[in-house]
Chains A and B, each alone.
Chain A
C-alpha cells in the first residue's frame, strides 16, 4: 500500500509538472487546468503518505529528516495551490513543481534517522513545527516568484521577448503573489514561534532564549517584515525588493539547514 501510494504520488506530481510545462510553452488552458487537478490529486495522496508514515505517532511526522522534507514539500504544494487559485495564475506551476517533487522523492531516499525521537508530543508542539515548516515553504515560494520576476524583468528590459515571456505572469502580479506568500510566511512563523515558546514554557516552566535558532528566526522575521514594507511603498518596489526577497531566502535556507543540523541543540529538521 505504502509503495503503491508513493508511486502514484510521484506519477501525479510528474504529470502535473509536465502539464504545467506544456501550459507554459503553449498556453493551452485545458492543460493548465489538468496540471492543477493533478497537483491537487498529488497533494491528497501525499497527505495519505504522510499519514501512513506518522501512524502510531498520532502527530505530524517531523521527528526525522524524512518527515521534515516530505512535510515541507506538501506544505509548499498546498501554499502554491492556494496562491494559484487566489490569484488565478498558473504559469509559475512549472517552476514550483520541481521543488515539491524533489522534496517528496528525496524524503524517501533520506537515510533512516539514528537519533532517538525527541521528547516532544502534543498539539502545541505539532502546531509549532507545522506552522514553521509552512512558513519556510511560503518563503521558498516567494523566492521562486521573486526569481521569476527578476528573470522576466531582465528579458523585458533587454527587449528579449522569447516564447515563454509572453506566458509568464505580468510583473506586478508576480510581485503581488510574492508579497502574499511572504505574508503567509510571516504570519505562520510568528504564530509558530509563539507556540514553540509556549511549549518550552510548559515543559520547563521558563522561557529559554539560549538557542541560536531563536536569533536566526528573529532575523528572518525582521528581514521579511522589512521586505514586506519596502516592496509596497518605497523606491524599492520592483527588482530591488525581489533581490531582497531572494537574499532573505538564503538566510531561511541557512536556518533550515546549517543552523538546525549543526548549531541548534533543540531543533533538528524544522
Chain B
C-alpha cells in the first residue's frame, strides 16, 4: 500500500520538455489503463497541466522498485528519450509523495504562488481517474484529502486572496469602488494583449456592458465579438466617456488620449458618479491632472505593478501558514494509511500464527497418545484463545490510538520482523 509519484514540472523541466510529456484527457486514460494492465501500478492517476505532468500510483511491490519502470513507461509512452527526461523527472515515495500532492493542491508548488486553477485541475484529474476505475482506496483517500487541503488553505490563509497580475489588480480595484460589477459598464481603449487580458477579467467578474474603442476597427471588432462587447468609433469622446464606470486605456500614443477637459465634461454629464480609470499605456494615456478631479480614481501601470508586488509579498508571507496546514493533513493521511496497513498486518499475523498452531499440533500434540479427541479439541481451543488474547490488545490500540500509528515508522520493518514478506513471496 505504498505510494509512488513520478513527474516533472516548471521547476525541473523547460517548456520544450514539458510540452512533450503532457497528457491530453484521452492520453491520461490510456496511460492509466496501460500502467495497470502491465502490472506497473495497481491504482493510477495522471495529473497533467501546463506546468506539470505527474503520475501518482500504488505499486504492487515497493514504491522504490516500481519507480524506474514508471520512468521508462513515461519515456516510451511519449516517445521521449530517457536521457532527455532523466534530469527533469522527480520521484517521490509515500510521505514525500503525499506532501508533494498536498502542496500542489494548495497552490504552493505553482508557478504563480497560490493560483486557484490548480485545485480545479486536481479535482478534474481525480474525477476522470475515478470514473475510469483507475483509483482505489488509497488514491481515493489521497486525492480527497488533497482537495480538502486546497480548500482549507484558500479558506484559512490569504495565499490566493490578492490579485497577482496587473489586469486582475485593476479589476479588483474597480470592485473596491463599485462593489460587484454586474450592473456596471466598461470602456476599453486599445485592443492589444493587455487590453484583452483586462477584458477577460472584466467579463469574468460579470461586467454588464463592455465597449471597445480602437484605431483599427478590425481588431476592435474581433475583440468585441469574442467577449460580447460593442465597438465605438475611435475619438468620439463626448459620446463614449459619460457612460462607462470603468475606463481602461492601453493605446500607443505620444500625447495623452484622455484630457482633463474631456473627463471633466463626462463627469458633469454622469452627475459625478465615480469613475475608475486604468491607464496601462506607456507613455501614459490619461492626462496627469485627471486624477485630481472629484470622484475620479486613476491608476497607471506603475501603481498597479506596485500593488502586484505588494500582493506577491503578502502571499509569500502566508506560506508558513499554508505549509502548516499541509503538514497537519499529511500527518492525518499517514496516520490513516498506517492504521489500514497495521490492521492488515495484524490480520496476516493472526493467519500466520494459526498456521503455526496447526503445525505445532500436528507435530507435537498428535504424538501424545493418551489424549482423547475431546482433549485435543480443548487444547486447540485454548491455543486459539491465547492467540486471540495476544492479538486483541494491539489490534484495538492500533484502531483507537492515532499517536501510536504515527510512531510506527515502517510497517515493512514489522513485516520483516515477523517474516510476513517472506511468507508472502
A163 contacts B by Cβ under 8 Å: yes
Which listed residue (A28, A156, A234, A235) contacts B177, Cβ 8 A? A156
Given contacts A161-B307, A237-B273, A238-B295, contact A170 B314 (CB under 8 A): no
Q: Are A173 and B179 in contact (CB under 8 A)?
A: yes
Q: In the docked arrangement, what's the CA distance between A156 and B155, Å?
A: 26
A27 contacts B by Cβ under 8 Å: yes
B177 cross-chain contacts in A, Cβ below 8 A = 156, 170-172
B172 cross-chain contacts in A, Cβ below 8 A = 166
A236 cross-chain contacts in B, Cβ below 8 A = 272
Given contacts A159-B299, A237-B273, A238-B295, contact A172 B178 (CB under 8 A): yes
B205 contacts A by Cβ under 8 Å: no
Q: In the docked arrangement, what's the CA distance between A237 and B275, Å?
A: 12
Within 8 A of B (CB), among A223-270: 233-240
Nearest A residue to B175 by beta-carbon distance?
Answer: A170
Q: Are B303 and A237 in contact (CB under 8 A)?
A: no
Which listed residue (A26, A161, A171) contacts B274, Cβ 8 A? A171
Q: In the docked arrangement, what's the CA distance between A236 and B158, Å?
A: 36
A29 contacts B by Cβ under 8 Å: yes
A157 contacts B by Cβ under 8 Å: yes
Q: Are B271 and A233 in contact (CB under 8 A)?
A: yes
Given contacts A159-B299, A235-B294, A237-B295, contact A27 B176 (CB under 8 A): no
Size bin of chain A's contact surface:
20 to 34
Given contacts A163-B314, A166-B162, A238-B272, contact A172 B179 (CB under 8 A): yes
Most buried by A among B179, B271, B306: B179
Chain A 151-181, CB-CB to B under 8 Å as 1, else 0, gives: 0100011010101011011111100000000
Q: Are B176 and A170 in contact (CB under 8 A)?
A: yes
Cβ distance A170 to chain B, nearest Cβ, rounded Å: 4
Sampled A-B contacts (29; CB under 8 Å)? A27-B161, A29-B155, A156-B176, A157-B291, A157-B297, A161-B173, A161-B310, A165-B176, A166-B162, A166-B172, A166-B176, A168-B176, A170-B175, A170-B177, A170-B178, A171-B176, A171-B178, A172-B274, A173-B179, A233-B271, A234-B271, A235-B272, A237-B271, A237-B273, A238-B272, A238-B274, A238-B295, A239-B294, A239-B295
A contacts, CB < 8 Å to B? 26-30, 152, 156-157, 159, 161, 163, 165-166, 168-173, 233-240
B contacts, CB < 8 Å to A? 155-156, 158, 161-162, 172-173, 175-179, 271-274, 291, 294-295, 297, 299, 303, 306-307, 310, 314
